[in-house]
Amino acid sequence: MLQYIVLVVLARLVVALLYAMQICMFGRAIMSWFSPEEDNRLAQFLFMVTEPFVYPIRKLLSKIEFFNNMPIDMSFMVAMLILIIFTTVLSGNLVVN
């Protein structure tokens, strides 16, 4: 019984962190529309938090010719989609249990 409680608490913590990452990704997307200055601490924070998640996807997509000439950053959109799917799957499993 204790193991189940620990797993549920851990899963909820992961879901909370995934929601926080979604908020940071959304904030970064909004900030990118306004071209923030380089010394903007909020923009630096959002980049620092989200780039480790976006960079591997960007590196992977750069190997696919189709994504190289796109006018928007598809890696960001793919990263956000992956994040939403993970959050939905994890939080869906919590509701069932």
3-state secondary structure at position 95: helix
Cβ proximity of 26 and 42 under 8 Å: no
d(CA 63, CA 67): 8
The backbone torsions φ and ψ at residue 22, rounded to the nearest 5 degrees and listed phi first, read -60, -40
Q: Which residues does the chain have with pLDDT short of 70?
A: 93-97
Any domain includes 62? yes
Both tokens assigned to 74: 């598809």
**What is the domain extent for residue 56?**
2-92
Structural domain count of the chain: 1
Q: Which pLDDT does position 56 carry in this prediction?
A: 95
Any domain includes 86? yes
pTM of the model: 0.81
Any domain includes 97? no
d(CA 29, CA 31): 5
